[in-house]
Structure 1
Amino acid sequence: MKKILAGLVVVIMVLYFAINKQESNTLVIYSALEQYRNDDLKAHLAEKFPDLNVQIMYMPTAKVAAKIQTEKEHSDADIVLGVETGYMEKMKDSLADVTEYSHLDYIDGMLPEHGKYLIWESYGGGFAVNMEILKKYGLEEPKTYEDLLKPEFKNKISIQNPKSSSTGYNFYLNLRNIWGEKKTLEYFDKLNDNVKQYSESGSGPVKLLIQGECAVGTALTYQVVTEINNGNPLKMIYPESGSPYSLDGVSVVKGKDDKGDVRDVFEYLVNEYLVYDKDHYNPGKILKGQKSEMENYPEDIKYADMTGIDDLGLKDELLGKWKY
């Protein structure tokens, strides 16, 4: 009897939430962006739409895709934000056509032809170094991937684990595209001797650099530049093959686009707030004529070969061969 009553309570709570959400001005965004960016977005939405109760729920990109694919139009989410394009492709049948919402001029070929999502950002990376640590140990700045194998970098490098970090996977995939799978796996076997820590998150190596625990780390450009602007002694270096990168997107859950509030918020997101986000957080270039307002952000970055970045089958195959 107790189990039955407990089950009824859960059902009632779910129904209450669903009814309350329909009758109230609540709008839900599933976001894979960093929490500080979600907090800023929520503040802007509260100011722009004071009569709306906008809830931004942080969720890893793969989990967003799994939930939307399962729940479809019955999802609590109205909008999904900051989800890697590979996962956007995976759940595209559960997304509305958002082609007509954007008034911005994207770089040619940046948007998917099917129109089920818009690009939110491009995030690329390279080698980040702590200049004080390099000086302390008399180390030269690494210029190539092979430089990271030098014995003087033993226990002084941090990279992301590609199984948990999309940043780590970007570097892994790029090397596979350059060298082939066999040489890439052999390279990481050698690099392992110099790695002090495999980070679970994309920002992990940057934190270790700031703490002075490592000399070199693979990192995203906008995260490193942010820390440089905060006064930390970091420098960004790009390998000759270019900056590994990936894209993420934003869309409306299919069936939720018939709500006026959802349409209004989404149009604001992809036309006004997107530009603000590029100016203040991640200036990675996605728009024609886009100029970075972020101090010290490098211009004319050469980007790497990221063929297969949206191929989740390839991703599963490569991650299955990762040892560390």
Structure 2
Amino acid sequence: MKIKLVILGIICAVLLYFSYVGLGASSDKIIIQTNADEEAIAAMETALDHHGYKGQYIVQPQSTSELGGKIMAEGKSIDADIVTQASYYLESAQKEHHMFVPIHSTMNQHELKQYPDYMSPILGNMGSLFVNTKVLKEKHLPVPKSIKDLTKPEYKNEISFPNIMDSSTGWLLLQGVISEYGDKEGQQIIKKLIVNAGPHLESSGSGPLKKVQSGEAAVGAGLRNQAIDAEKDGEPIKYIDPSEGNFSLTEAAAVVKKGGKKQQKAEKMVEVIQKYGRKDLLKEYPVPLYKGEKVSKEMEPSYPKEWKTPLTVNLLDKHQRFSQRDNVGR
């Protein structure tokens, strides 16, 4: 009996030792929590791996709304060293918690638009409509020129767009509607869009394109560059810049204020992402953020627009409530 107890004690000690060692190894790594999709994560990882940081970080992808809620609720207590997220979430979190540190990067001096010193812009998302030309032809549907066109009865169950409650891409669509038509008419337009979307209201920004590519929907709203890439790949996809405008969102990287060597390392890693990852990020998300950056003619939107005031979490909440009144969450 005593021998069994001794053996059991040794096993427990060994397990505790290895769990401690494993935890220590894990805690030495920089935790990157991000709302980025696969292409953006790949670009960031390539930059880090090629500049001395391979195996020294862990990437934890989350949805925009999930990560946004987390940084707003947890502040500096968040279990991350680096956060990449929509700029409006970072600004609101900094205002609420003062949780990010200044990033001293020479690239920040070349921003096309001035951003706070605690964030490094890494990519821009631009919205547009897109259609499956084959499905339009088969179903004798007209090519839409505006978001409002999609409220017509002939598009019932033939359109797909992201739910603003889940996706920041959905906010690009809503900004266009409210900016062009105002709250009152915009409310009616959103309501009709919901009806026409039917089962095609998506939780992710890339969902609508997948629905349109498969032919389940004829028309979608989402990221402009993804539609252009699909068309280049020979698919029957055509992007359309809606008359209401091409709205965009910026995503940026920030370092959580935790002090010590890990924070210093995280700051250097953000500089690497910004300096060496930007080329690949611009290729995937062709929205210039820095002076000297250029994109091909087809990547330039026909009707570039910005919301009249800075984007904030409070504004997002307001627009989400606006959408809820129109059954967007159903």
User: Same fold by TM (over 0.5)?
Assistant: yes
Distance 1:203 1:252 in 2: 27
Q: Sequence identity, in percent?
A: 23
Distance 2:270 2:89 in 1: 20
Q: Report if aligned partners of 2:162, 2:169 keep a CA contact under 8 Å in 1.
A: yes
Task: Identify the residue that residue 64 of structure 1 maps to in structure 2.
Answer: 67
Residue of 206, 210, 214 corresponding to 1:207: 210
Counterpart residue identity of residue 101, structure 2: A
Distance 1:317 1:215 in 2: 30
1:317 aligns with 2:321: no
Inter-CA distance 28–306: structure 2 relative to 1 (3 Å threshold):
same
Distance 1:86 1:180 in 2: 22
Distance 1:85 1:103 in 2: 14
Spell out, residue by residue over 1:54-104, the C-alpha distance to the aligned partner (whole angstroms, 9 max, x if none): 2111122343344445555554422112x1111101222100111435366
Secondary structure in 2 matching 1:133: helix
Counterpart residue identity of residue 152, structure 2: K
Distance 1:75 1:312 in 2: 18
Distance 2:46 2:188 in 1: 47
Shift of 1:166: 0.9
Look at both structures and tell me which one has the larger radius of gyration over its CA atoms.
2
Structure 2 unaligned regions, length at least 5: 1-15
Shift of 1:146: 2.7
Alignment of 1:293-312 (within 5 A): 297-299=298-300, 301-308=302-309, 310-312=311-313
Secondary structure in 1 matching 2:307: coil
Deviation larger for 58-67 or 142-151:
58-67
Residue of 70, 94, 97 corresponding to 2:102: 97
Inter-CA distance 134–317: structure 2 relative to 1 (3 Å threshold):
same
Task: Identify the residue that residue 49 of structure 2 maps to in structure 1.
Answer: 46
How many pairs align?
Answer: 305
Counterpart residue identity of residue 80, structure 1: V
Secondary structure in 1 matching 2:173: helix
Task: Identify the residue that residue 149 of structure 2 maps to in structure 1.
Answer: 147
Alignment of 1:78-157 (within 5 A): 78-81=81-84, 83-92=85-94, 93-102=98-107, 105-107=110-112, 110-112=113-115, 114-157=116-159
Distance 2:43 2:292 in 1: 25
Inter-CA distance 44–233: structure 2 relative to 1 (3 Å threshold):
same
Spell out, residue by residue over 1:133-191, the C-alpha distance to the aligned partner (whole angstroms, 9 max, x if none): 11112222111223212222222111111111111122113321222111111112223
Distance 2:40 2:320 in 1: 29
Distance 2:235 2:310 in 1: 32
TM-score by length of 2: 0.82
Deviation larger for 34-43 or 68-77:
68-77
Q: Report if aligned partners of 2:147, 2:177 keep a CA contact under 8 Å in 1.
A: no
Spell out, residue by residue over 1:21-43, the C-alpha distance to the aligned partner (whole angstroms, 9 max, x if none): 56x4x222111111343245324
Distance 1:15 1:75 in 2: 21
Counterpart residue identity of residue 292, structure 1: V
Shift of 1:289: 2.8
Distance 2:311 2:266 in 1: 27
Structure 1 unaligned regions, length at least 5: 1-10
Shift of 1:252: 1.2
Counterpart residue identity of residue 111, structure 2: Y
Task: Identify the residue that residue 240 of structure 1 maps to in structure 2.
Answer: 243
Q: Report if aligned partners of 2:63, 2:166 keep a CA contact under 8 Å in 1.
A: no
Inter-CA distance 174–51: structure 2 relative to 1 (3 Å threshold):
closer
Inter-CA distance 252–187: structure 2 relative to 1 (3 Å threshold):
same
Q: Report if aligned partners of 1:89, 1:310 keep a CA contact under 8 Å in 2.
A: no
Counterpart residue identity of residue 124, structure 1: M
Task: Identify the residue that residue 176 of structure 1 maps to in structure 2.
Answer: 178
Inter-CA distance 73–244: structure 2 relative to 1 (3 Å threshold):
closer
Shift of 1:221: 0.7
Residue of 212, 223, 226 corresponding to 2:226: 223
Q: Report if aligned partners of 1:178, 1:305 keep a CA contact under 8 Å in 2.
A: no
TM-score by length of 1: 0.83
Inter-CA distance 170–254: structure 2 relative to 1 (3 Å threshold):
same
